[in-house]
Amino acid sequence: MKFSKIELKELVISILVISLAIAYTNSWSVTLFMMVPALIIVAPAFAFHELGHKFAAQKFGYKAEYRMWKNGLIAALAMAVVTSWFGSKFLFIAPGAVYFGGRHGTRSDVGKIGFAGPLVNLGLIGVFGLISVFSVSPLIASLASTAVYVNAFLAVFNLIPFGPLDGRKILEWNRTYWGIALAIALAALFWGNLLV
Per-residue pLDDT of the chain (196 residues), as tens digits, is: 778 999 999 999 999 999 999 999 988 899 999 999 999 998 889 999 999 999 999 999 999 999 999 999 999 999 999 998 887 878 888 899 999 987 777 899 999 999 999 999 999 999 999 999 999 999 999 999 999 999 999 999 999 998 888 999 999 999 999 999 999 999 999 988 887 6
Active site residue 50: yes
- The pLDDT score that the predictor gives to residue 141 is 93
Res 95: pLDDT? 92
Strand partners, 67: 97
Burial of 39 (0-12, 13-18, 19+ CB in 10 A): middle
How many other C-beta atoms lie within 10 A of the C-beta of residue 56? 22
Q: Look at residue 105 in the predicted model and tell me its pLDDT.
A: 74
DSSP string, the chain: ----HHHHHHHHHHHHHHHHHHH--S-HHHHHHHHHHHHHHHIIIIIHHHHHHHHHHHHTT-EEEEEE-HHHHHHHHHHHHHHHHTTS-------EEEEEESSPPPHHHHHHHHHHHHHHHHHHHHHHHHHHHH-S-HHHHHHHHHHHHHHHHHHHHHTS-STTSHHHHHHHH-HHHHHHHHHHHHHHHHHHHHH-
Rounded distance between C-alpha atoms, residue 83 and residue 99, angstroms: 31
φ and ψ at 104, to 5 degrees? -70, 130
How buried is residue 26: exposed, middle or buried, by Cβ count under 10 Å (0-12/13-18/19+)?
exposed
Amino acid letter, residue 169: K
Structure pTM? Answer: 0.89
Residue 193: its pLDDT value, please?
83
Candidates 10, 50, 65, 172; catalytic one? 50
Can you give the pLDDT at residue 13?
A: 96
What is the per-residue pLDDT for 7? 95
* Residue 69: predicted pLDDT: 95
